[in-house]
Amino acid sequence: MRILTIISLSFALVSGVYTSGWTQTPYQGDGHMMMNDQALKWGPIASMPQGARMAVIEGDLSKEEPFTFRIKIPADYKLAPHTHPAYERVTVLSGTLHFARGTAFDRDKTTALEKGGMAIMAPGEPMFGYTEEETVIQLHGTGPWGIEYVNPEDDPRK
């Protein structure tokens, strides 16, 4: 029985989240999904600086439907101030994410979210962060999901 089906789509054009242009449809009519990390398909993220990688677990991020995805963030990585159009629910799976609310990047204002740590950010609320070590986070919510940078010059899509 196949658990995952990879469906090609032009998602990169819709939201600029992916460069690989795929999403996951995990359910095969039974309403259940089970998988291990090894089954994840990682790809680059057009809307984040080079080095971060994303694996969609479920959903089409451009649609109004549930989504779950993971982001693998390299060591010494800066997440410039940005917002999202939907609630962002983040759980740290490994490493430490230094995260804060605000429109200006300030390391001193961040909270160190260690493995198991979590954050919930409201739509349109600015946030920023950084890592000192490779960190993996899992995000889930209801789309459509996207990212807009407070300072347009921080946007790697431009």
Q: What is the pLDDT along the chain (158 residues), one digit of tens a residue?
A: 333 322 222 233 233 444 344 455 555 556 778 889 999 999 999 999 999 999 999 999 999 999 999 999 999 999 999 999 999 999 999 999 999 999 999 999 999 999 999 999 999 999 999 999 999 999 999 999 999 999 999 999 98
Please state, as a whole number, how many other Cβ atoms lie within 10 Å of the Cβ of residue 149.
Answer: 19
Give me the domain span that covers residue 78.
Answer: 5-154
| Separation of first and last alpha carbons in the chain | 42
The half-sphere exposure of 93 on its side-chain side, counting CA atoms within 13 A, is 11
Are 56 and 22 within 8 A, CB to CB?
A: yes
The three-state secondary structure class of 108 is: helix
Total number of domains in the chain: 1
pLDDT at 10: 29
Residue 100's beta-bridge partner residues? Answer: 128
Write out the two tokens for 130: 């950084």
What is the CATH classification number for the domain harbouring 57? 2.60.120.10
